[in-house]
């Protein structure tokens, strides 16, 4: 699907109502029409303050626009002194810094986001785009996220967030060491991925702004007018995904009638677009060099160099922990934009170590170079350059159960786990995909499993334990996923606060204890009375007595005004009975983590093998049931619609997960 450019937007997704396209006049968003009602209440005011946007002042019911989109990247824009060089990079360089003034027409708006799930009562951002100068405050949107959009020249940037005075990397953004190989910063390639246009000559309007869900409806971004074409436009750098947006035209909310629109979940109409990855050369290099770069040169359609000079592009570590079976070798990556009027049709390059050693094609001589014939993804390993199509697709999130799904007992199961690990580290992790384990195990039990598998089981980015009642994020220990030990985890205390709503452990624990007394001795016993996981109790119950126990728990908690979920799993003569908060469970935890990392539902795949996985397998996301699934889960599968969202693999355990991802187009 082409990038949005004001026309030819994709059709509304299934289940979302499209607006009529019979009229050519601008659709006003008024409550008196079937079009989009006035919605200032869900738009915040993006101001240079730390106040919540949802409570910021408004004028005539319309949120105030950004005072201005700051034009960053011009020489002398900010002080070069960085307040804490131990926490961030004050030495990294950026191609954005130039001695020549930058035309506003050449700038691209990029949005910095600090998710609401991460800690912080005040948030700002600074980076190479402002010479690591004074941190720029982010504003809080009604969704709770912190956001700020800044207009920047195209090119690579490094940056860091400042949360409550502490410099921090976001776990939801790519990270890399600075040019000196020291501090770890977030990084991003700023380039236009979409364009918002308003044909003011045809539809009218002098002051045009746009707001959308990419910033939680928390900002108004001004469009620039072109006197020659009579069109207002704005170039933006948005991640791949589907977005809803609206125009504010001279103080009135309007839609473009010639573009597709959707009925949003909160009852409004908005224009819609789908953003894809922009054209770029994404080169992944397997090397033992600690520091390396590429010398690159663009080629025209005939294969002739566009310039005589070679340009140096730094290679950065990826999120992969893979060593490809060769000690000391890791994947590094460089991205070179391939959009715009002067974009190269092809690229030639050769890697260079920090000591100046060159990696040239074997047998090609000292002047030879590797050639990427077109924009896309490429892997260079052991002197062989190969296409890597996964790099040209959006990252995915895999949320997988562990026991019976990714791991099992015996050499055959261990080999399957190892095969999955090799795939993940040498493919999915390279492009920023997110790995999440959603398990009934505790944190300690998971850490024991990780050690027992001896490196075959990949370290995840996030861990959901105790049937969706605890969430942990990988502690990157000042580095990246690729360098973290995997032994240190940070609990998401905000998730614990959400689960506390309507939950009373003492009442639920008493209900469990009472239920145990209703069945014969030694036919039901405690696994966890909430001492380890305060938002869950767990019982082991003989299979034929499960209805008696669960009915008793339901009735006892209901009488006390506590609503619970009861999750049953297991096979043979015994069952696990988990009682959790209605706010929790594997699906609710999946959705929470998916929102944290900003992954679209259609790019998030769940995988499982037993009944306690049914909740997360039954969400809106794609799902995989592995070939060795328990009968109770297969009975559930038989009742699900055959719409392609849920696949049952022929292969077992970890091989079944890989098969399912392939069949869903997410491999």
Q: Which fold has domain 1-64+192-277?
A: Immunoglobulin-like (2.60.40)
Q: What is the average per-residue pLDDT within 27-37?
A: 37
Token pair in block for residue 73: 């990247």
Look at 589 and 32; give whichever has higher pLDDT. 589
Judge whether 1-64+192-277 and 67-191 match in fold: yes
Token pair in block for residue 125: 């951002």
229-249 pLDDT, tens digit each: 999 999 999 999 999 999 999
CA angle at 571 for the pair 570 and 573, rounded to the nearest 5°: 110
Token pair in block for residue 224: 């620039």
500-512 pLDDT, tens digit each: 999 999 999 999 9
Helix (H) or strand (E) segment spanning residue 376:
strand 376-381
Helix (H) or strand (E) segment spanning residue 371:
strand 370-372
Task: DSSP for 596-646, please give it.
Answer: HHT--GGGEEEEESSGGGHHHHTSSS-EEE-TT--HHHHHHHHTS--SSSE
Burial class of residue 14 in the structure, from the number of CB atoms within 10 Å of its CB (0-12 exposed, 13-18 middle, 19+ buried): exposed
Tell me the average pLDDT of the chain.
84
Task: DSSP for 467-528, please give it.
Answer: TTTEEEEE--TTS-TTT--S--EEE-HHHHHHHHTT--HHHHHHHHHHHHHTS-TTSEEEEE
Question: For the chain, what is the radius of gyration of the CA atoms?
Answer: 27
> In which band, very low, low, confident or very high, does the pLDDT at 27 lie, cut at 50, 70 and 90?
low
Parse the chain into domains and list their residue ranges.
1-64+192-277, 67-191, 280-392, 397-499+585-663, 502-581
Token pair in block for residue 24: 């050519």
Residue 267 pLDDT: 80
> In which band, very low, low, confident or very high, does the pLDDT at 143 lie, cut at 50, 70 and 90?
confident
Residue 28 pLDDT: 56
266-302 pLDDT, tens digit each: 788 999 999 999 999 999 999 999 899 999 999 999 9
442-487 pLDDT, tens digit each: 999 999 999 999 889 999 999 999 999 999 999 988 888 888 888 8
Q: Which fold has domain 397-499+585-663?
A: Rossmann fold (3.40.50)
> In which band, very low, low, confident or very high, does the pLDDT at 579 lie, cut at 50, 70 and 90?
very high
Q: Are strands 292-299 and 311-314 parallel, antiparallel or unpaired?
A: antiparallel
* Residue of 630, 625, 619, 656 lying closest to 576 (CA atoms): 630
Task: Write the CATH number of the domain with boundaries 502-581.
Answer: 3.90.1070.10
User: How far is it, in rounded angstroms, from Cα 369 to Cα 294?
Assistant: 11
| Cβ-contact 77, 112 below 8 angstroms | no
Instruction: Please give the class, per CATH, of domain 67-191.
Output: mainly beta
Ranges 62-76, 109-123, 488-502: which has the least confidence: 62-76
> In which band, very low, low, confident or very high, does the pLDDT at 48 lie, cut at 50, 70 and 90?
very low
Q: Which fold has domain 280-392?
A: Immunoglobulin-like (2.60.40)
């Amino acid at each position: 699907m082409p990038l949005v450019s004001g026309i030819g937007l994709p059709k509304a997704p299934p289940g979302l109502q499209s607006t009529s396209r019979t009229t050519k006049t601008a659709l006003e968003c008024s409550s008196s029409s079937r079009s989009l009602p006035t919605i200032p209440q869900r738009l915040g005011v993006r101001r240079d303050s730390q106040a919540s946007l949802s409570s910021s002042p408004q004028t005539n019911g319309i949120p105030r626009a950004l005072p201005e989109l700051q034009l960053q990247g011009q020489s002398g824009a900010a002080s070069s002194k960085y307040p804490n060089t131990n926490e961030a990079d004050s030495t990294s360089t950026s191609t954005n810094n130039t001695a020549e003034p930058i035309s506003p027409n050449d700038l691209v708006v990029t949005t910095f986001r600090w998710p609401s799930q991460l800690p912080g009562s005040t948030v700002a951002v600074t980076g190479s785009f402002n010479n690591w100068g004074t941190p720029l405050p982010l504003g809080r949107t009604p969704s709770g996220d912190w956001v700020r959009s800044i207009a920047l020249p195209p090119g690579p940037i490094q940056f860091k967030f400042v949360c409550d005075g502490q410099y921090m990397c976001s776990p939801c953004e790519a990270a890399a060491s600075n040019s000196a190989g020291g501090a770890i910063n977030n990084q991003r390639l700023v380039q236009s991925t979409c364009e918002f246009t308003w044909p003011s000559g045809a539809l009218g309007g002098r002051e045009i702004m746009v707001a959308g869900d990419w910033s939680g409806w928390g900002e108004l971004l001004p469009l620039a007018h072109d006197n020659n074409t009579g069109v207002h436009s704005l170039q933006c750098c948005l991640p791949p995904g589907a977005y809803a947006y609206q125009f504010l035209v001279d103080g009135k909310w309007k839609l473009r009638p010639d573009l597709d629109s959707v009925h949003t979940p909160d009852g409004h109409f908005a224009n819609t677009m789908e953003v894809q990855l922009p054209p770029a050369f994404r080169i992944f290099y397997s090397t033992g060099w600690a520091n390396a770069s590429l010398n690159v040169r663009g080629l025209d359609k005939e294969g002739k160099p566009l310039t005589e000079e070679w340009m140096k592009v730094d290679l950065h570590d990826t999120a992969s922990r893979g060593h490809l079976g060769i000690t000391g070798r890791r994947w590094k990556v460089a991205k070179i934009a391939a959009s715009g009027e002067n974009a190269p049709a092809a690229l030639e390059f050769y890697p260079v170590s920090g000591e100046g050693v060159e990696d040239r094609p074997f047998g090609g001589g000292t002047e030879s170079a590797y050639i990427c014939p077109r924009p896309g993804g490429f892997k260079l390993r052991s002197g062989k350059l190969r296409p890597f199509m996964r790099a040209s697709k959006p990252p995915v999130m895999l949320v997988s159960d562990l026991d019976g799904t990714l791991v099992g007992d015996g050499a055959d199961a261990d080999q399957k786990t190892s095969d999955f690990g090799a795939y993940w580290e040498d493919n999915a992790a390279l492009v920023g995909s997110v790995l999440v384990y959603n398990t009934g195990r505790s944190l300690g039990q998971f850490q024991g499993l990780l050690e027992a598998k001896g490196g075959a089981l990949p370290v995840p980015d996030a861990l959901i334990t105790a049937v969706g009642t605890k969430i942990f994020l990988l502690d990157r220990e000042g580095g990246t996923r690729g360098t973290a030990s995997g032994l240190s985890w940070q609990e998401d205390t905000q998730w614990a606060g959400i689960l506390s709503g309507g939950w009373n452990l003492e009442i639920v624990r008493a209900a469990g204890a009472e239920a145990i007394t209703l069945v014969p001795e030694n036919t039901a016993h405690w696994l966890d009375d909430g001492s380890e996981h305060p938002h869950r109790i767990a019982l082991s119950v003989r299979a034929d007595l499960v209805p008696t126990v669960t009915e008793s728990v339901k009735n006892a908690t209901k009488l006390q005004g506590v609503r619970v979920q009861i999750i049953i799993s297991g096979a043979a003569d015994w069952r696990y009975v988990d009682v959790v908060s209605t706010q929790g469970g594997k699906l609710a935890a999946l959705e929470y983590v998916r929102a944290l990392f900003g992954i679209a539902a259609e790019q998030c795949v769940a995988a499982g093998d037993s009944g306690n996985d049914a909740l997360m397998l039954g969400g809106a996301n794609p799902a995989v049931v592995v070939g060795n699934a328990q009968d109770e889960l297969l009975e559930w599968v038989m009742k699900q619609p055959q719409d392609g969202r849920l696949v049952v693999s022929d292969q077992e355990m970890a091989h079944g997960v890989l098969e399912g991802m392939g069949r869903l187009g997410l491999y």
